[in-house]
Chain A
Amino acid sequence: MTERVQVHEPFVDPAQQHAADMLGMYIFLASEIMLFGGLFAVLFVCRLLHPQEIAAASKELHLWIGGINTAILLTSSLAVAIAVQLARQGSRRAVAISLAAAAALGAGFLILKAVEYRLEYSDGLLPGFSTASKFANPATHLFMNIYLIATVLHAVHLSIGILLLAGLVWKLLRRSLQVPKRASVIAVSGLYWHLVDVIWIFLYPALYLIR
């Protein structure tokens, strides 16, 4: 099972390929930032138009669940960052373990998020889904709609991230991904994971901590 450092067609050397992969991923992340940025813009404009109502709605959200989830994602990012360092040193099993830990933390986030949706549903917070709505005011409805769209979009991104990490773990265990030769693959995938974390870092205060 010896593997050459794979250099794809247009590249002439691995360094060039790594640089291109990193740049490509960073540019992709820039476009992801713009995607979520549109939602943030919508959120801030609504907040500007209805400051009181939206602060009131925000207070109804489960601040502590969101906080724990933030901590979970930050920890998962740590695991991914460690995995990248370990990959450069070539400890295959340790890389697989820390990536698996990160993916598991991500899954934990999703489970907790599902619990939170469930609570919000029974509280009558989720518009359109709850039978008896707690809010009479359209602006609070609006806020809950934006909350739902933003968190679901984030959850979709996180799920993709979990699949990505799980795939890497699988390949590492099957030895079809070699470290440290292809540590670059783990670094580039890690970037995506961290961005999903960064987006949550902004979503959390923007949604839960409006006062």
Chain B
Amino acid sequence: MTSDHMVDAASHPAQPGIAETAEERVSYLRAGHTLGSWLFTSDHKRIAILYFISVTFFFFVGGAAATLMRADLLTPQADLLSDEGYNRAFTLHGVIMVWFFLIPSIPNTFGNFLVPLMIGARDLAFPRLNLLSWYIYMLGGLFTIYVLIAGGVDTGWTFYTPLSSMFANGNVVLAATAVFIVGFSSILTGLNFIVTIHKLRAPGMTWGRLPLFIWSLYATSLILVLATPILSVTLALIAAERLFGIGVFNPSLGGDPLLYQHLFWFYSHPAVYIMVLPALGVVSELVAAAARKPVFGYQFVAGSSIAIAAIGFLVWGHHMFVAGQSAYASAIFSFLSLAVAVPSGIKVYNWTATLYKGQISLDPPFLFAMSFIGLFVVGGLTGVILAMLAVDVHVHDTYFVVAHFHYIMVGGTVSAYFGALHYWWPKIIGRRYSLAWGRLSAALIFLGFNLTFFPQFLLGYLGMPRRYHVYPPEFQVLHVLSTAGASILGVAYLLPFTYLFYSMRYGKPAGANPWEATGLEWSIPSPPPKHNFAERPTVTRAPYDYTIEYEESDD
């Protein structure tokens, strides 16, 4: 394709958009504009865009299920959804949000886009494997959509046995297949990242100079590779149990239902860190750029990512304190769960210290980062409450838990996702968006989120079990507050997609480094050229090498 040809095809001349820039003309976005050039690309940047589109789609599908649930919860009776309908709504909400949005969200979009750019590589180590991983993801996605159309599944995203293996009447096997398939996409992505980070760093890009986002993705990839296969085999056993009655999880055939929970949480607890570690990495990047200062205690922040990934494997039993697990095992798991709070705490305190004597900007990405820190602190500390044995006995499986993990995953990961989107959007697309609208949506998301989920802590302590759509009337006020918050949140999540989309044509060209940030990705044009770097970069400086103004001082 010649670039002249692309100008004609890519934009309609009648629109008064800002004309295509020289950078755009040679960028990866214009390197081929047929559908095939996108669907068969092995360019990590284009695969990132493919993921971005598909992940966003599933975010809104999962969000639609949540909307139905929150609407149904307005009243203590079941007036919008039937029992079955509600059960299917929360199961699909969980399955889609966990495996089709949260797990791939930051790694597969921003990770794919940024890993090679940040370490100075041409692409990921195995570009075709990367594309294959997207196709596997889409195949799993198609299965999920089919499950949705075929009537859904009603086991909860946790697929607990023997409910899922013997009693549930939804499409359990199909749903398990969908998750099984998407697991391989995770494994391949993790593998690709690990090899890339080890083997394709530019000369001079030592481990001590890696951006913290890369450190966190590295930790995430370790979990992806080592935990996901356990989920795969567990889901295969569920399917075999349901289809052939093999009995592994069926007590009347000599099996043990708790064994399922051990296997499931051995994957699914580390999976929580798959969801939140990339977000922690994003926030480290954003905080440094916001303060124009090196991240306080780089080594501790980098090391804590690895520590979280490692300790995260040792704590799964805290999901089973009341499940009939031995009390001694529970005591061990409770202790280890407290230990995992230490590296998380290090990150939060270090970010706060980074802001000290910084040049703090309140542009949209940084607002998202700061709201992340606040929400993550609340989510993390309520997690410590849940790790306390006797307290968990009361609040386990209540709205307290629901609120806790939404603070981590929605308040945390989704805020970081939007933060990353607002931070790297000018790099990805090459255009600036409206900062005022960005600030507004950051504020709305923060407000809507807290209004939605803070009342749920109270509901949980009051004794409102999760997965209930019929509840005692004294809980209604808090539920109404929560639904009101959810409606704000819903609008606030849609908002960025409007002005970001608008900026694609009408935004001002961003320039190579609109935030004046450090990092290799900002050293190349926006949007990046197809080949990333004109020549292989050599790194000679520490990360976050912002010039600190020693002289500007009068008071």
Using a CB–CB cutoff of 8 Å, the interface residues on chain A facing chain B are 8-12, 16, 19-20, 23-24, 27-28, 30-32, 34-39, 41-42, 45-46, 49-50, 53, 128, 137-139, 141-142, 145-146, 149
Q: Is B181 interfacial (CB-CB < 8 Å)?
A: no
Q: Is B306 interfacial (CB-CB < 8 Å)?
A: no
Which B230-248 residues have C-beta < 8 A from chain A? Answer: 230, 232-234, 236-237, 240, 244-248
B194, B199, B236, B253: the one contacting A16 at CB < 8 Å is B199
Q: Whole-angstrom distance between the alpha carbons of A173 and B122 in the complex?
A: 34
12 interchain pairs, CB-CB under 8 A: A10-B123, A20-B198, A23-B199, A24-B191, A34-B230, A35-B230, A38-B237, A42-B263, A50-B254, A128-B244, A139-B254, A145-B248
Determine the chain A residues whose CB is within 8 A of the CB of B255 once the complex forms: 46, 142
Q: Whole-angstrom distance between the alpha carbons of A27 and B191 in the complex?
A: 6
A37 touches B230 (CB 8 A): yes
Determine the chain B residues whose CB is within 8 A of the CB of A149 once the complex forms: 236-237, 240, 246
Q: Classify chain B: how many residues form its interface, as a range.
A: 35 or more
Knowing A45-B259, A138-B253, A142-B248, say if A10 contacts B200 (CB, 8 Å). yes
B234 touches A38 (CB 8 A): yes
Determine the chain A residues whose CB is within 8 A of the CB of B244 once the complex forms: 128, 145
Q: Whole-angstrom distance between the alpha carbons of A32 and B188 in the complex?
A: 12
B126 touches A24 (CB 8 A): yes
Closest chain-B Cβ to A17's Cβ sits at a distance in Å of 9
Determine the chain B residues whose CB is within 8 A of the CB of A28 once the complex forms: 187, 191
Q: Whole-angstrom distance between the alpha carbons of A53 and B259 in the complex?
A: 19
Q: Whole-angstrom distance between the alpha carbons of A149 and B245 in the complex?
A: 12
A11, A12, A35, A141: the one contacting B254 at CB < 8 Å is A141
Q: Whole-angstrom distance between the alpha carbons of A12 and B122 in the complex?
A: 9
B125, B233, B252, B259: the one contacting A10 at CB < 8 Å is B125
A42 touches B237 (CB 8 A): yes
Q: Is B229 interfacial (CB-CB < 8 Å)?
A: yes
Closest chain-A Cβ to B111's Cβ sits at a distance in Å of 15
B198, B229, B253, B536: the one contacting A32 at CB < 8 Å is B229
Using a CB–CB cutoff of 8 Å, the interface residues on chain B facing chain A are 42, 116, 121-127, 187, 190-192, 194-196, 198-200, 225-230, 232-234, 236-237, 240, 244-248, 252-256, 259, 262-263, 536
Q: Whole-angstrom distance between the alpha carbons of A12 and B120 in the complex?
A: 12
Closest chain-A Cβ to B459's Cβ sits at a distance in Å of 36
Determine the chain B residues whose CB is within 8 A of the CB of A24 once the complex forms: 125-126, 191-192, 195
Q: Whole-angstrom distance between the alpha carbons of A30 and B194 in the complex?
A: 13
Max chain A CB contacts within 10 Å: which of B234, B252, B255?
Answer: B255
Given contacts A38-B232, A142-B253, 11 further A-B contacts (CB under 8 A): A10-B127, A10-B196, A23-B199, A31-B191, A38-B229, A38-B263, A39-B233, A42-B248, A45-B256, A149-B236, A149-B246
Determine the chain B residues whose CB is within 8 A of the CB of A138 once the complex forms: 247, 252-254
Q: Whole-angstrom distance between the alpha carbons of A65 and B276 in the complex?
A: 49
Q: Whole-angstrom distance between the alpha carbons of A149 and B200 in the complex?
A: 39
Knowing A31-B225, A41-B263, A42-B259, say if A9 contacts B253 (CB, 8 Å). no
A49 touches B225 (CB 8 A): no
A9 touches B233 (CB 8 A): no
A9 touches B229 (CB 8 A): no
Determine the chain A residues whose CB is within 8 A of the CB of B199 once the complex forms: 16, 19-20, 23
| Interface pairs A-B: 7 shortest CB-CB | A38-B233, A139-B254, A34-B229, A35-B229, A145-B246, A10-B123, A20-B199
A10, A23, A50: the one contacting B116 at CB < 8 Å is A10
Closest chain-B Cβ to A15's Cβ sits at a distance in Å of 10
Determine the chain A residues whose CB is within 8 A of the CB of B187 once the complex forms: 28, 31
A38 touches B127 (CB 8 A): no
Determine the chain A residues whose CB is within 8 A of the CB of B232 once the complex forms: 35, 38
B247 touches A31 (CB 8 A): no
A23 touches B254 (CB 8 A): no
Q: Whole-angstrom distance between the alpha carbons of A149 and B121 in the complex?
A: 42
Determine the chain B residues whose CB is within 8 A of the CB of A34 once the complex forms: 226-230
Q: Whole-angstrom distance between the alpha carbons of A41 and B237 in the complex?
A: 12
Q: Whole-angstrom distance between the alpha carbons of A182 and B542 in the complex?
A: 38
B122 touches A9 (CB 8 A): yes
Closest chain-B Cβ to A179's Cβ sits at a distance in Å of 23
Knowing A23-B194, A138-B254, A141-B254, say if A31 contacts B248 (CB, 8 Å). no
Determine the chain A residues whose CB is within 8 A of the CB of B228 once the complex forms: 31, 34
Closest chain-B Cβ to A28's Cβ sits at a distance in Å of 6
Determine the chain A residues whose CB is within 8 A of the CB of B227 once the complex forms: 34
- Considering the complex, give the chain B residue whose CB is closest to the CB of A127: B246
Determine the chain B residues whose CB is within 8 A of the CB of A19 once the complex forms: 199
Determine the chain A residues whose CB is within 8 A of the CB of B123 once the complex forms: 9-10
Q: Whole-angstrom distance between the alpha carbons of A142 and B259 in the complex?
A: 14
Closest chain-A Cβ to B225's Cβ sits at a distance in Å of 5
B245, B248, B536: the one contacting A146 at CB < 8 Å is B248
Q: Whole-angstrom distance between the alpha carbons of A49 and B259 in the complex?
A: 11
Q: Whole-angstrom distance between the alpha carbons of A28 and B189 in the complex?
A: 11
Q: Whole-angstrom distance between the alpha carbons of A82 and B217 in the complex?
A: 38
Determine the chain B residues whose CB is within 8 A of the CB of A9 once the complex forms: 42, 122-123, 127
Closest chain-B Cβ to A8's Cβ sits at a distance in Å of 8
A10, A20, A46: the one contacting B248 at CB < 8 Å is A46
Determine the chain A residues whose CB is within 8 A of the CB of B247 once the complex forms: 138, 141-142, 145
Closest chain-A Cβ to B255's Cβ sits at a distance in Å of 6
Q: Whole-angstrom distance between the alpha carbons of A30 and B228 in the complex?
A: 11
Max chain B CB contacts within 10 Å: which of A9, A10, A16, A23?
Answer: A10
Q: Whole-angstrom distance between the alpha carbons of A138 and B230 in the complex?
A: 25
Q: Whole-angstrom distance between the alpha carbons of A28 and B126 in the complex?
A: 13
Closest chain-A Cβ to B230's Cβ sits at a distance in Å of 5
Closest chain-B Cβ to A58's Cβ sits at a distance in Å of 15
- Considering the complex, give the chain A residue whose CB is closest to the CB of B129: A24
- Considering the complex, give the chain A residue whose CB is closest to the CB of B228: A31
Determine the chain A residues whose CB is within 8 A of the CB of B262 once the complex forms: 41
B225 touches A10 (CB 8 A): no
Q: Whole-angstrom distance between the alpha carbons of A12 and B201 in the complex?
A: 11
Q: Whole-angstrom distance between the alpha carbons of A114 and B445 in the complex?
A: 60
Max chain B CB contacts within 10 Å: which of A12, A53, A145, A149?
Answer: A145
Max chain B CB contacts within 10 Å: which of A34, A41, A137?
Answer: A34
- Considering the complex, give the chain A residue whose CB is closest to the CB of B253: A138
Closest chain-B Cβ to A98's Cβ sits at a distance in Å of 28
B195 touches A31 (CB 8 A): no
- Considering the complex, give the chain A residue whose CB is closest to the CB of B125: A20
Determine the chain B residues whose CB is within 8 A of the CB of A137 once the complex forms: 254
Q: Whole-angstrom distance between the alpha carbons of A10 and B130 in the complex?
A: 13
